[in-house]
Amino acid sequence: MSSDRPVRVVVQHDTIDRDAVRAVTNLLRALPGARVRLVLHGPAVLTSRADLTELDDLPPEAEVVACRTALRDRGIDPADLRPDVGTVPSGVAEVVQLQHDGWSYLRV
């Protein structure tokens, strides 16, 4: 892709599977230098726990955030998350805000 602006993609994910890891990996291979933020909400926040392996193969340059509302609803303490996972107050609001800010959107 030719542009003087880097590609920015928000990936919305709300299920417990490895589809998001594959999608983000493929995006970063195809678009080197892209900025990709994976937003986990709903049941997908379970994969952000430090004791689980679903996100182990995620490229290190991918940004991952988990919805604090979904964490709270599932009784997950943010202190128990993987060290590479941040939190946002609302996963869906994060997706909407990033789209408003010009990020491309992908739901996996």
Tokens of 60: 């290190």
pLDDT in tens, 80-99: 999 999 999 999 999 999 99
Separation between Cα atoms, residue 51 and residue 36, nearest integer Å: 24
Model-level pTM? 0.94
pLDDT in tens, 38-82: 999 999 999 999 999 999 999 999 999 999 999 999 999 999 999
Separation between Cα atoms, residue 47 and residue 81, nearest integer Å: 9
Separation between Cα atoms, residue 50 and residue 80, nearest integer Å: 6
Separation between Cα atoms, residue 17 and residue 43, nearest integer Å: 10
